[in-house]
Chain A
């Protein structure tokens, strides 16, 4: 989180948007000389190089790595079965036997938190990937085809952006009914327009470039040009944006879980664990705070990493993208 320049602290999205144009310019200049593969590796390699100088971002990265490891190796790390009910051990405060205590059914909270990391990390990632896929498809088609297709798709994007995303998410869940699967669908449908706008903008400027013209002159089909020439050039910055959006997705999904609209008990998911124990705040406040802190640590990891990535990609702070 270091900023040497006053301009570097716009919101994340504004930042990435502002920088995409610069990134693209750099990409275009290089395209005739370098191959696309070299371009995209150097995009990430330079980004990583800048990122390594940022201590806070590295801490975020390390936290994230730990969390992913915990999620992957959950069965080996958890001391108990997360769904193992033992009424005689219910509502035990943290102790040596149960490091984070037990819940109202006597289930070990630490084990549930460890297993909960799986859903709480995977589901937001799925949401971001689905939104990214829809947004990329719409953006590519809109930018490349132009004309009527472009106008129609962009009106859809405009109209969707006129309404708050969370309202639409809630309305969709209201119609489909509560549940983790429905929450994931609702959030994926609500969040793709940002990606579509950016991809469209990038595609528009790319399709006038010589290498696309050349491919067209060679008689290459539209779909081949889109997938092999344009997509690799636009995807890197947008994948970056998607990483930044993970923090928001985790918070929203946990919020839905908390409201009882996402994952349903007895699923081990942090938001619903918290919601399940809300009534016990008098007798067992640790049941409320432990899942809450787990969510906060995860979001913090993504925010620290996101800030670092944004600074690394920032032309103003002398990062990997420089104005020439």
Chain B
């Protein structure tokens, strides 16, 4: 059953991603400016000369920019499927290589961020639900309200100002050299990123937990004389985690877009920062390549999240429909 479900979902991914590639490609044609001239300028600046009209014509001919749109699209798509997403206008390196080079820092930052968010949000969310309508619960909810209203950049800049500028505990920005130094540099961005996720995660955990605590089997567990800790941790929490898994999946799906702001504030050498730089420089091959890669990753992560439900909750079966 499970295999069939996964295969079916993978099959659906194909048309979705094809449309995604069409959107990405179409955006370039809607954009102002002549892409041939931009490519010529980029190549010329790499050689340290000015682009001539002859060069523009030669580049257009070489890259097939004079071909009909559908031919260009199919060529681009076929190249993309072979792992060739073109070269960056600004660094002249292959887009895929740029992406892979910057993937590590982004992944580390996001994983650390999500881990911190989980460590704060789940215990507090559970506590808030268990102690419903007490002072603890009210404090937690005030925190949630303030956190979800606070822009990520404000939170990050406040942390930066307080912990780096005022008290000089953490480094201001950068990636560091050697694993100890890197961990030191990672701390502040990861805390900022993790904290920015806690609000929505806490709220979700609390809701889900409250719902679960009202179920019959919790009453049964208590009636059996189990300790409150066992009831909460084994009986309630496990069942309450389902929506939380969805949200974590969503966080992973937004890895690029979610970390753009944090990466730019802390000059973190990740994909988010690179994507932002490409947008500011209107580096089309990079924008197209990154958009395509992240669309694919997002769709894949959504699938993994859906499948992982049955791991968290074995009652969920994927049946033929």
Contact = CB atoms under 8 A, between A and B. Distances in A.
B165 to A, nearest CB: 6
B24 A162 contact: no
Contact of A162 (B153, B157, B302): B302
Interface string A133-169: 0000000000000000000000000110011101110
Interface stretch (B99-107, B140-148, B225-233, B305-313): B140-148
B53 interface: no
Contacts of B32: 176-177
Given A303-B145, A303-B149, A285 B31 contact: no
A199 interface: no
B115 interface: no
Given A164-B253, A177-B32, A9 B210 contact: yes
Given A162-B298, A171-B27, A171-B291, A289 B145 contact: no
Interface in B135-184: 141, 145-146, 148-154, 157-158, 160-161, 165
B120 interface: no
Contacts of B19: 159
Interface in B227-251: none
B299 interface: yes
Contact of B161 (A175, A255, A281, A307): A281
Nearest to B19: A159
A176 B31 contact: yes
A282 B299 CA distance: 42
B57 interface: no
B295 A163 contact: yes
Interface stretch (A22-30, A69-77, A292-300): A292-300
Contacts of B260: 170, 259
B88 to A, nearest CB: 13
A247 B291 contact: no
Contacts of A173: 279
Contacts of B211: 6-7
Nearest to A298: B149
A58 interface: no
A300 B149 contact: yes
B2 interface: no
Interface residues of B, number: 58
Contacts of B210: 6, 9
B145 A278 contact: no
B207 interface: yes
Contacts of A288: 157, 161
For this complex, into which size category does the number of interface residues on chain A fall? 35 or more
B287 A174 contact: yes
Nearest to B30: A175
B18 to A, nearest CB: 9
A37 interface: no
B16 interface: yes
Contacts of A170: 257, 260, 275, 279, 291
Contact of B154 (A164, A172, A296): A296
Contacts of A296: 146, 149-151, 154
A206 B192 CA distance: 47
Interface string A6-45: 1111110000000000000000000000000000000000
Contacts of A174: 27, 278-279, 282, 284, 287, 291
Contacts of B280: 178, 260-261
A304 interface: yes
B187 interface: no
A80 B260 CA distance: 35
Max chain A Cβ within 10 angstroms of own Cβ: one of B19, B151, B253, B280 = B151
A240 B301 CA distance: 31
Contact of A300 (B30, B145, B214, B261): B145
A258 B261 CA distance: 8
Contacts of B161: 281, 285, 288-289
B109 to A, nearest CB: 17
Give the 7 A-B residue pairs with the shortest CB-CB distance, closest first.
Answer: A6-B210, A292-B154, A9-B207, A175-B31, A300-B149, A174-B279, A166-B257
Given A11-B203, A175-B31, A247-B149, 8 more contacts: A9-B203, A159-B20, A163-B299, A166-B258, A173-B279, A258-B261, A281-B165, A292-B158
Interface of A: 1, 6-11, 158-159, 162-164, 166-168, 170-178, 247, 251, 254-255, 258-261, 274, 278, 281-282, 285, 288-289, 292-293, 295-296, 299-300, 303-304, 307
